[in-house]
Amino acid sequence: MGNSYGQYDAKPEGFIPGGMSLHDMMLPHGPDRGAFEKASNSNLGPDKLDHTMSFMFETRFPKHLTEYAANEAPMQDDYADCWTSLEKKFDGMPGKK
């Protein structure tokens, strides 16, 4: 996921223009609690976003880190903190809502 310019709607705080994140297929990721609550409680329908450009690449193949990425590349140490207050909505049991 990358943000070329503007504000990324699924993570409005902390995902600055020029920023990106890279997730392996088994790493949890997604919108923060504020974006989740806003989308869950808004009226359904078209929503136009202006003055922003974000992009996403997806693959079913696992990614492998280079030595530089694993040990020297700058990282956002508090990246996962935005999900600590997200309420659990799914228990994995079939037929339950």
Q: pLDDT of 58-82, one tens digit each?
A: 777 877 888 998 899 887 788 778 7
Contacting residues for 53 by C-beta, under 8 A, at least 6 apart: 3, 4, 5, 6
Report the C-alpha gap between 34 and 86 in whole angstroms. Answer: 9
Report the C-alpha gap between 9 and 14 in whole angstroms. Answer: 11
Res 25: pLDDT = 67
DSSP line for 50-65: -S-EEE----SSPP--
Contacting residues for 54 by C-beta, under 8 A, at least 6 apart: 1, 2, 3, 4, 6, 8
Which residues in the chain land under pLDDT 70? 12-14, 25-26, 28, 96-97
Res 96: pLDDT = 63
What mean pLDDT is reported for the chain?
80
Report the C-alpha gap between 49 and 40 in whole angstroms. Answer: 18
pTM summary value = 0.56
